[in-house]
Amino acid sequence: MSSHGESFPFHIFFFLIPPATLPVFLLLLLLLLLFMAALFSPRGIAWSLDRRCSFIPGAGGLASVLALSGFSAHRALADLSHSLSARHLMAFSIGLTRFIVSSHPETAKQILNSSDFADRPIKESARELLFHRAIGFAPYGDYWRSLRRISATRLFCPRPIASFGDFRLEIAEQMAEQVTVLMGKHGQVELKKIFHFGSLNNVLKCVFGKSFDFWKGEGMELERMVREGYELLGILNWSDHLPLLKWLDLQGVRKRSRVLVEEVNVFVRGIIEEHRMRRRICRVSGDFVDVLLDLEDEEKLSDSDMVAVLWEMIFRGTDTVSILLEWIMARMILHPEIQSKAQTEMDAYVGKSRFVCDADIPNLRYLQSIVKETLRMHPPGPLLSWARLAIHDVHVGDHFIPAGTTAMVNMWAITHDGAIWADPDEFKPERFMTDDVNIMGSDLRLAPFGSGRRLCPGKSMGLAAVHLWLARLLQSFEWVPSARGVDLSERLKMSLEMENPLVCCAVSRNS
């Protein structure tokens, strides 16, 4: 030891490391330093690296990581924004990704309706699964506008939605039959698969022009691919936020995505070729594959583009409907007086001599209010699922936001804010009988489908299915709890699901 108080000669330490492993050691050391900085820097390291940023209240890296890595990120972020008095805007980082989150309608509107946030951040899983060529993730520009126009005018407008009314009725009949059969066999029914298979077939009929049996063969394989896609998009993938980890693929997201996309390519291209062969014999235009084939030359759509668009239609159109229906039925069982009131309304407007149909729904205002209240209490996309990306430097309120920042809206926090909603934790459909809140994106107090350019294009088709199927199930059965009761525990993956599937009992109202 030096008698002159000299510091330890750290350079000697590096000579003790074998030369072959020195690059790996340095990489691990750098990762450790970044990890420690990310955990303990105010608002995280990503915000610290940009000196231009105005101060935005924010959570430290550790709190942010814990919030987003759990299954209740919407609640954890709401609690953080409340504790920091940052309802209007809160900042945090995950690795090298800057985030802002709004928990207030005013700043939510600025983000969602601004051309400055026209793009979505593209996760590795989304890119690998081709979604960067589909409506949800394609960058704002001519290609995205073309896809949006096609879907809005050829699939999600009133005429096509009405044209699939008979098939929605057929699915409603199948659901009622499945409930009856399961009650006869087991004395109770698990609704999750009934809703999932029904909503998946509804979308497949609109997109591919055919339905499937999900208990065997091709249908079972398709349903497995959809579930795998949900899982991959719902994972918090560290490679998205720490570039040095990308080549490692530690969570296996890239590998699984590439396996899945090969399977999807084979399946969807097969459907496209079936349509091409059929059109050589008889030119028809009945489903969305036919729409795209009609326009492939005019819109310069490649087969890869069509695969991406069709796959996303299937993927996005299924889970919101099925998850929402399960939450609604849970609430009907927990609140029998509300269930009874909806059935009384239906008996008055529809009667008992025929089954409810699409044309009856506008008269069933209380039933529509039940759907709205469930969307408020249990929004399927509480963080509006797929966030927005600042495409250049922008201000939100008085705060400077650098280009490349990911912006989220915590719709769950807004819909549970006592300053906006009276008795926010109480399930009260009556609130919408007196206050007719528009849920299609214009009123940011309740915008479960988003707002602005990236507003969900299939919202009207999804609501048409939810209203009709809910009405038929309430018309045909009285719903009561099973011995397991009703557990409202949540699990946020890609959407906000019930942690434990709803198991209940259905008593025929016609006996």
The answer to whether 330 touches 502, Cβ cutoff 8 Å, is yes
Distance of CA 277 to the CA centre of its chain: 35
DSSP conformation letters of 135-176:
TTTSPTTHHHHHHHHHHHHHTSSHHHHHHTHHHHHHHHHHHH
Tens of pLDDT, residue by residue over 487-499, are: 999 999 889 999 9
Using alpha carbons, select from 85, 35, 88 the residue that is nearest to residue 65: 35
Is there a domain that residue 55 lies in?
A: no
**Where is pLDDT greater, at 47 or 150?**
150
Using alpha carbons, select from 305, 301, 312, 310 the residue that is nearest to residue 125: 312
- pLDDT of 29 > 80? The answer is no
Is there a domain that residue 61 lies in?
A: no
User: Which distant-in-sequence residues (6+ apart) come within 8 Å of 231 by Cβ?
Assistant: 493
Q: What is the pLDDT of residue 3?
A: 45
Q: Which two tokens stand for residue 305?
A: 């583009």
Q: Is 478 exposed, middle or buried (0-12, 13-18, 19+ CB in 10 A)?
A: middle
String of b and e for 24-35 (b: at least 16 CB within 10 Å)?
A: eeeeeeeeeeee
Q: Is 157 annotated as a binding residue?
A: no
CA distance 271 to 414: 42
Is there a domain that residue 364 lies in?
A: yes
Q: Tokens 């009133």 — which residue? A: 158
Is there a domain that residue 30 lies in?
A: no
- Taking only Cα atoms into account, the Rg of the chain, rounded to an integer number of angstroms, comes to 25
β 97-102/406-409 pair status: parallel
End-to-end alpha carbon distance in the chain: 94
The CATH number for 234's domain is: 1.10.630.10
Q: Tokens 């490349």 — which residue? A: 404
The answer to whether 212 touches 205, Cβ cutoff 8 Å, is no
Is there a domain that residue 76 lies in?
A: no
Using alpha carbons, select from 453, 401, 313, 341 the residue that is nearest to residue 91: 401
Q: Which two tokens stand for residue 171?
A: 């699915």
What range does the domain containing 116 cover? 104-508
DSSP conformation letters of 36-76:
HHHHHSTT-HHHHT-TTPPP--B--HHHHHHHHHSS-HHHH
How many domains in the chain?
Answer: 1
Q: What is the pLDDT of residue 1?
A: 43
Three-state SS string over 278-333 comes to HHHHCCCCCCHHHHHHHHCCCCCCCHHHHHHHHHHHHHHHHHHHHHHHHHHHHHHH
pLDDT grade, residue 16 (50/70/90)? low
Q: Tokens 């993927």 — which residue? A: 315
Q: What is the mean pLDDT of the chain?
A: 89
Distance of CA 52 to the CA centre of its chain: 33
Angle CA(177)–CA(183)–CA(189) in degrees, nearest 5?
90
Return the top range by mean pLDDT from 51-60, 313-322, 465-474.
Answer: 465-474
- pLDDT of 95 > 80? The answer is yes
Tens of pLDDT, residue by residue over 364-394, are: 999 999 999 999 999 999 997 679 999 999 9
The answer to whether 375 touches 439, Cβ cutoff 8 Å, is yes
Tens of pLDDT, residue by residue over 305-350, are: 999 999 998 887 788 999 999 999 999 999 999 999 999 999 999 9
Is there a domain that residue 51 lies in?
A: no
- Give the range among 45-49, 151-155, 225-229 with minimum mean pLDDT: 45-49
Tens of pLDDT, residue by residue over 272-283, are: 999 999 888 876
pLDDT grade, residue 37 (50/70/90)? low
User: Which distant-in-sequence residues (6+ apart) come within 8 Å of 153 by Cβ?
Assistant: none
- pLDDT of 218 > 50? The answer is yes
- pLDDT of 34 > 90? The answer is no
CA distance 163 to 286: 10
- pLDDT of 5 > 60? The answer is no
- pLDDT of 472 > 90? The answer is yes
Three-state SS string over 208-240 comes to HCCCCCCCCHHHHHHHHHHHHHHHHHHCCCHHH
- pLDDT of 107 > 80? The answer is yes
Indicate whether this model's pTM tops 0.85: yes
Is there a domain that residue 67 lies in?
A: no
pLDDT grade, residue 10 (50/70/90)? very low
Q: Which two tokens stand for residue 308?
A: 């991406």
* DSSP structure class, residue 7: P
Q: What is the pLDDT of residue 27?
A: 67
Q: Which two tokens stand for residue 55?
A: 């101060």
CA distance 42 to 44: 5
Angle CA(341)–CA(343)–CA(346) in degrees, nearest 5?
115
Q: What is the pLDDT of residue 297?
A: 75
Is there a domain that residue 22 lies in?
A: no
The answer to whether 289 touches 271, Cβ cutoff 8 Å, is yes
Query: What's the average model confidence in pLDDT over 453-458?
Result: 91
The answer to whether 205 touches 197, Cβ cutoff 8 Å, is no
pLDDT grade, residue 19 (50/70/90)? low
